Structure formats: structure tokens, C-alpha cells
Structure 1
Amino acid sequence: MPAQFCPTPCALDDLELLLNGGFAPQTNFDDEGPIRLALPAELADEAEIEIVDPEGLPLATWTPGGLTPLSAPSYGPFRRLHLDPTSARAQHAGALTVPVAAALTDDDLAAIQEAREGRDVVLLAFVGSGTPQDISPVGLVRASLAAAELLGNAYVVAATLAAHGDPEADHELGQRVAANYASGDVLAVTGSGELPIEIAGIVDTDQPEEPGVVVFFTGLSGSGKSTLAQALLDLVLEAGQRTVTSLDGDVVRRNLSAGLTFSKADRETNIRRIGWVAAEIARHRGIAICSPIAPFDETRQQVRAMVEAAGGEFVLVHVATPLEECERRDRKGLYAKARAGEIPEFTGISSPYEEPTDAAVRVDTTGRTIEDALGDVLAVLPFDL
């Protein structure tokens, strides 16, 4: 059996277009270039890999020589609109195709009406990771459906064109995908002008003013992470303006991560689980307050990436209380046990703590009241209390 691998959302979007002809004539991932399959080191020498979705459904088998489809994605909002290019051309023969990466404006709609010359219109919504501008992928489809209603005899087709961080390459890929989906002319719109009322309402609903936030406290055991996190939680609840969830490291370990050890690998797994849950909370505009030790920079960076990919803001708080003070407090007796060799791989004693260099704020709680130390945190939060 080939090794299984779940790639990034961008690579999964690329896979769909490689398999359905959207990227034709290209049918496999590049060794170089934007459409790449970034394999982890342990899979780099594999000759065959089974690509799976986040739920483990096999989508395709990859080899350096090509991709073999195993199944097609069948879930997700507006999946019925995700046509392959052959089907889109057959269903909308002769239509004017308009690539859409942002909500269409009054000027865009006027330009489309002028250019269509009585033809049907296909609004080709580019819904891949990072492509929709100032709107979510689902919001882009909803806004495009509203635009189609305003245009009349217009239809929406969704294509998973993702952004790869190279504007020039992404522009070329967008042109290629549009050409493959179009059965007739292609019209590019400018995005100038105002949004029609019907579309503006969808955009406003899709993009509330306040994004989700993850406040991530990191520091040694006994540094004051949980105390500060609890104090912040209380303030948010008292304000009553935002939904908020606490993800305390010890509580998560007893529930979501029950059964994990304190090995480096299991500790990193615990932090990634916290990060995933926090990112989902942020995706839905909530506030997540996390307070694990999180000693390793690589794992903290992974959590930051998860949160930012979900559209949330990540606030890293380094509770930098010195080891000597943490050990003096030792409310749970953990440092004493670690010194006696009863707890292996204990952070700060027998396992390292990698101090963050990218924290939004550094707080030493030594000799300070909770209110005083929390003031440092409140000063860097992207929301008011």
C-alpha cells in the first residue's frame, strides 16, 4: 500500500484542477513552479503516494509520472457548481465567460451587459484558497449568484483556483483556467464602482467587521499563563460582546488529548490539536484563549499558520516569568518531582523551552498583581474590553 498524505488546502485545490482539466495541458504537480506537492521529509523518497482529503478519503495516486484519480470531492457548499471544464463548455456553449475573484460591482455588471450581445453569461468564480478578494469562497459564490440574478440568463460555475503567493504566476494560471472553461469569449472586469445593494448585503454578512482572534499564552509551568488567561476570559465574558472559549493546556490534555504522553512528539500533537480547535473558533469570529506551555517554536508557528489560514488574528503572549520564580511557586510540586527524576522531559528542567522571538508582548509576572500584568496583554489585543 502506498503511503498516504493530506496536502495543504492550496495543493488540494490544485489537485482538483489537475484532475478535471482546469490546468490543461498540465496534468501533474511541478517539480518547480507554483503547482507543487510539498512532501514532508519522511515521504520525499516515496515513488508512489496516495493523496487523501482531511477526512482521509483517497483522492488520487501520485507518482512522478502522473496522477491517477481515485475519487472526486463530493462535499462542501455549492459543490453542484464545481463543474469540470468539459461539462461547463457543454452546458454553456457560446456563453460569455467572466472570471470572478471579487464581488461584482455596478460597473462590472454594466460592462458584462454591454459585452454579452444577447449571449448567456458564465460567472466563473475562483474559489480556491487565498484567491477571493475581501470575501470568503462561499461568500464569493453567493455574491456571484446574486449578480447572475441581476444580469439574467447568467450562470455560476466554481473553479478551485488557489493563490500561490506569486501574483504573476497566479495571473497566468487564472488566464489558463478561464480559457479551459470558456466555450466562447472571456471578459475581464475591473472591480471599479460600487456594489449593488443586493451584493453589498451578502458581502457585509460574509465579512463582519470583527475577525476571530486567538490569544495564545506560552511560558513555563508556573509562569502565570493560566492565571492571566482566566483573568482575560473573565473580562471578555463580563463585556458580553464576543463569544469566547478557553483552551487551557491541562484541561485539553485531560479531554481532547487523553492518552498522550509527555514525549516531545505527543506534546507537539497536543499543541497542534489546541491550534486546530482555536483556528476553527476564529474561523467563526469567536475568541479563543489558549494557555499551554507550547515550548517549541516550530509548533507555535504551525498554530499561527492554522489561525491565519482560517482568517483569524493570532496574538502570541510570552509569559516570561523566570525559571527560578516558577520553581519557587511550584504549586503542583512538579518541579520538585522533575528535579528528583520522577518526571522525564519536563520543560525548563530536562527539556528545553524555546523562547519566542515573534511574541506580541512579553510579560514577566514576578512581583506583580494579576491586573497589572494583564494590562500588558490588553494593550496588544485587536479588540477592546
Structure 2
Amino acid sequence: MVSANRPGSAPGGGVGRPDAPVFAPGPDGLAHLELVLNGAYPLPGFMTRDETEAVERDGRLPDGRPWPVPVILEVPEELSGADRLTLTDPEGAPLAELGVTECWRDGGGRPRLAGAVTLLRPPTYGVLRELRPSPAEVRAQRELDPSDRPLLAVVTDRPLHHRALHQVRSEADALGRVHGGDGRAEVLVIVDTGLEDEGMATAVLAAKPLLPSRTSFVVCTLPRSADRAGDVLGGPWGTREVALAAHVAAAYGATHMLAVTGADGPDVERVMAQRPPLTVLDPEPWRYDSRDGLWLPLTQVDPAHARTELTDEQVEAELAHGRELPAWFTPARVGAELARLRPARTRRGLTVLFTGLSGSGKSTIARGVCDGVRRSGRSVTLLDGDVVRRMLSSGLTFSREHRELNIRRIGYVASEITRHGGVAVCAPIAPYAKGRAEVRAMVEEFGDFFLVHVATPLEVCEARDRKGLYAKARAGEIPEFTGISDPYEEPDDADLVVDTEGMDPSESVARVLAALRAGGWLPEQDG
């Protein structure tokens, strides 16, 4: 039987109506869909305009139920008139059928579809699928235990270091005493990670032996794709994101929640103002007592000897340079897993993207940098603009659409090289900020990204004009030529800016290699 608030299975195992358009939602849409389908959301599907506006304005659905975030499905324009959609995972496997009840547009005119979803097939896509039981399965397992202990949900997307571990054990003990139980509350660690990337999940799991004995783990993906982008040790959490986590934790049967979101933690008062369905705890701060070598509540530590844990930036710097994390800060097993996930930069995959006008010197510098990287002992692949055009993007024109496609192809190949620990050196013009951002996002899913802006002035590039391209562009023989009839969007996020005017190419190469060496991606030179 299908309840009013839960999607049901389509008759016959469900492949969707054959005439329904097929659509794979983006990361947040897919995360929302899975949480609707597995019952973590008490919602039938995606929200209408009225529902979305009510949630954004009041933190409530139109029927008065508290709910912190809009659950929306963004679709391309060509699907705005659909009355039914088959929703799939990124690999094309059908997940659900959406019966469209409304098409509405946001403030930017982008179409959104609302309606209930019906389960077609259980999802198989996504990392750590074996750790993604439904909330109903978790609740059923707990019902086998008649002790009726409180359940403390620990929601995190970052490793559990000593401070967090002490807080979890302390709060579990306190809940057990308050509720008259025979010991600690049970603990459910909800690991928030992406569908395609494990993130810090294995580092969280490494802390299992250090948590209370009655601790279990589940993995889920909360819709925070924008916050995850480029982040290493856990993305930022807003008040509404923590409140959403509380709703999901309650669906798993949790009575209380502790959100491990960083050194400061969430503003619990503001979270509780969102009226979550459980109690969000505001644990006492803990500090490391450097005199006694113990982690203790702040009130029990002499301020002269109180030491705060390392910041995310400090942790990243230690890992980047191959240094072991200190034992007072994190357990050895967590530190070892972090070192595996974030190896020293000399062992990480890296993409170096050169961007600049035609004739700026990108290719010459890139070839010299490749030689230097190779001499350092690292595996390196050069993806030069002209060579890529012949081998990878043959048949593409120089229209904006095709140039963006060319950059995406370069980004995909570079991300695969990076994934396997190599160094990719890319030297396209890459004139558009959006395309460069897409390459960065693809690469940083697996490794590091370093952007070099070869900022040689247009008049210098045109004076060189080794290929005669600028002359043809000025004569109108080449349409949409970057710098002449098509814009070049100068990057504001370059890691290094090089102007080759009046500079020998070897000097430019040396500057780039020095920056890579200082950043830890190349070993220091002997002597």
C-alpha cells in the first residue's frame, strides 16, 4: 500500500511510461529525490511555487508543518512543458516517475517542475551504497531492542577528531543518565557525503572503535552541492542546512542530534528557531590541556594551558607537506586515513591550466613546465590547445558553444589524469570564466588545480602573430576571434599571473616551477 506521504512502486517493477521524457537531475535534485524516495523527507515529491515561497518566507509548508529548505527540481527549457518525466541517475538507470502538477519559474526565469514522484527502481548509483539503508530499515532494527534508549544522531561531513569524539561520548552519557537508562544513549553517525565522491566518509568511519559501543553508521547525501565544491575537509553549514539534517535524523528515529560542522559548531538557538522535530544539542566546548595532556571541558582547563584544535587550513597544510597530524589533535587511525585521502602534494594528481590570448606564450611556457615537472620525477601529460584541437576536438568549430565543449573535453581528460595521480598541463585559450570554473570543478573532485594566467597584453600578442591569425581576424576572415571579435574574460582566481612581455620564456617557466615547488607539488631542489 502507498501512503499519502510516501512514493509507491510503479506496477510491474517500473520502467516508466515509454512516452515520458527522460531526465537526470543535477546533484541537489538527485539528493532531494533519493531522500523523498527512501522516506527521509515526509514529502510526496518536488514543491510547487506556493510551497517553495512559504518555506523560504516562513520556514513552513502551506499546511503549517515546519520545513527548512525548498525541495525543487530544475529542468532545461525543453522539458518545461512536460506533464510526466522519467527521472534517472547519471548513468541513465530509471529511478522514479514524476507526475507534473505545475511548471513554475524562479526569479531568473528558470523552469521548475512540481509534482509527486513514484518509485520505479531502488537506486544503485552512489558511493557506499551498502551503508545507505532507508530510515524505515534503521527504525525497524532499533525496534528489536526493547530498552527504548535515546538515539543520538551525530551528523557530520568531516572527520571526528579528539574534541568531537569527547563531545559525542559526553553527550551520549548525559542523555543516558537523564532518560534513566542503563548507560549511554545509542549513537547513529550520519555521514553526509556526495553521491559520486566519498569525501571524508572513510575518515569518519575510521573513528568507529573510539565511539560508544552501541554506535552505528549510515551514509546519506544532503543537498549541499554548492557548499561542497572545492572544499576539502567539510563544507560550510548554514542554519537551514543543519535544520534539514535534523529532519533527516528524526526520520531515522533519532531523539537528539549533534551536528559536527567545524570548530565553532552551528548556532543552535537559530537552528531550534526553525522548529526541527528533535532536540539539537549545544555541547559544552572542549579544549586540550597542554599541561596534563588531556581533552577536558573548557571550564576545567586553565586558560594558560588551553589549546584549541587545528583549523581546517592548518590540517590541509600539514597534509599537503606530508607531515603527520599531531596525536593530541586526532587519533592515529583517523590521521592515517586522512593522510591516505589527502597525500602529500608531491603524490597528488594535479592539473595546471594556462589561460591567455593567442600568442601570449602559453604553449611555450607549458612545454617548459612539462620538462621541469618530468625532471622532478613526476608523470606529466601536455594537453596543448592546437594538439587537442586536432586529436581530441577534431570537427569542432570556433563558435562559443564548441569552444566551451572543447574546454570541457580538456577538463575531463585532465581530471582523469589527476584522478590517477599524474600531472596534466593544459594550454588552451580558455577565454570564458564559466569554462575554466567547470574544469576546476571536474579536477578538484579528484585532486588539485592550479590556474596560470598568461597576461601578455593584446598588442604584444598581435605584434607576434606567428600564425597570422590576428591579421585574418582584423580582416574579418576569422569570426569570433578571441580578443578581436570575441571577448577574453580575464580570470580573477588565478594562482599565478605571468606577463611574458620583455621576459625570456625560461624566466616564465622558472616562475611557474617555483610556484609549484613552493606549493608542495614538486619536490624541493637539491642543494
User: What's the TM-score, normalizing by structure 2?
Assistant: 0.61
Alpha-carbon spacing, 1:67–1:245, altered in 2? closer, same or farther (3 Å):
farther
5 Å-filtered alignment, 1:1-385, equals 1-25=19-43, 27-29=45-47, 31=49, 32=52, 33=56, 34=69, 35-41=71-77, 43-44=79-80, 46-62=82-98, 63=100, 64-93=114-143, 94=145, 96-101=151-156, 102-104=158-160, 105=162, 106-108=165-167, 110-111=169-170, 114=173, 117=182, 121=186, 123-129=188-194, 137=198, 139-141=200-202, 143-144=204-205, 147=208, 151-163=212-224, 165=227, 167-182=238-253, 185-188=255-258, 194-210=329-345, 212-240=349-377, 242-282=378-418, 286-308=422-444, 310=445, 312-335=447-470, 338=473, 343-378=478-513, 381=516, 382-383=519-520, 385=522
Taking a change above 3 Å as real, the CA distance of residues 202 and 329 of structure 1, as seen in their structure-2 partners, is: same
Aligned-residue offset at 1:181: 0.7
Deviation at 1:86, TM superposition (A): 0.9
Measured after TM superposition, the shift of residue 167 of structure 1 is 0.9
1:269 CA drift (Å): 0.6
CA deviation vs aligned residue, 1:104-129 (integer Å, no higher than 9, x gap): 34415633763564689453333333
State whether residues 355 and 452 of structure 2, in contact with CA within 8 Å, keep that contact through their aligned partners in structure 1.
yes
Higher relative contact order (CA closer than 8 Å, sequence separation 6+): 1
CA distance in 1, matches of 2:388, 2:192: 34
Pairwise CA RMSD: 3.5
Pair 1:354–1:202, CA change in 2 (3 A): closer
Give the deviation of 1:239 after TM superposition: 1.8
Partner Cα distance (1:189, 1:356) in 2 = 36
Distance in 2 between residues matched to 1:128 and 1:15, nearest whole Å: 15
Structure 1 position 148, deviation (Å): 5.3
Give, in whole Å, the separation in 2 of the partners of 1:66 and 1:365: 58
Segments of 5+ residues of structure 2 without an aligned counterpart are 1-18, 57-68, 101-113, 177-181, 228-236, 264-285, 287-294, 296-328, 523-527
In structure 2, distance between residues paired with 1:46 and 1:209: 49
Q: Tell me the amino acid that sits aligned with residue 252 of structure 1.
A: V
The SS at the match of 2:351 is: strand
Task: Kindly provide the CA deviation profile for residues 235-277 of structure 1, in whole angstroms up to 9, marking residues without a partner as x.
Answer: 222222x554332223333333333222221111111122233
Tell me which residue corresponds to 1:133.
none
Q: If you compute each CA radius of gyration, which structure gives the higher value, 1 or 2?
A: 2
1:70-103 CA-partner distances (Å, limit 9, x unpaired): 3333144421111111112112335734324133
Compared CA separation, residues 23 and 108, structure 1 to 2 (3 A): same
| Structure-1 residue corresponding to 2:525 | none
Q: Which moved more, 1:249-258 or 1:146-155?
A: 146-155
- Tell me the secondary structure at the aligned position of residue 426 of structure 2: strand
Contact 1:123 1:157 in 2 (8 A): yes
Q: What is the count of residue pairs matched by the alignment? A: 377
SS in 1 for 2:489: coil
- Paired residues of 1:217 and 1:225 also in contact (CA < 8 A): yes
8 Å Cα contact 2:187/2:212 also seen in 1? no
Take 1:145 and 1:120, find their aligned partners in 2: how far apart are those partners?
21
Which residues of structure 1 form unaligned runs of 5+?
131-135
**Inter-partner Cα distance in structure 1 for 2:44 and 2:202:** 26
Identity value in percent: 44
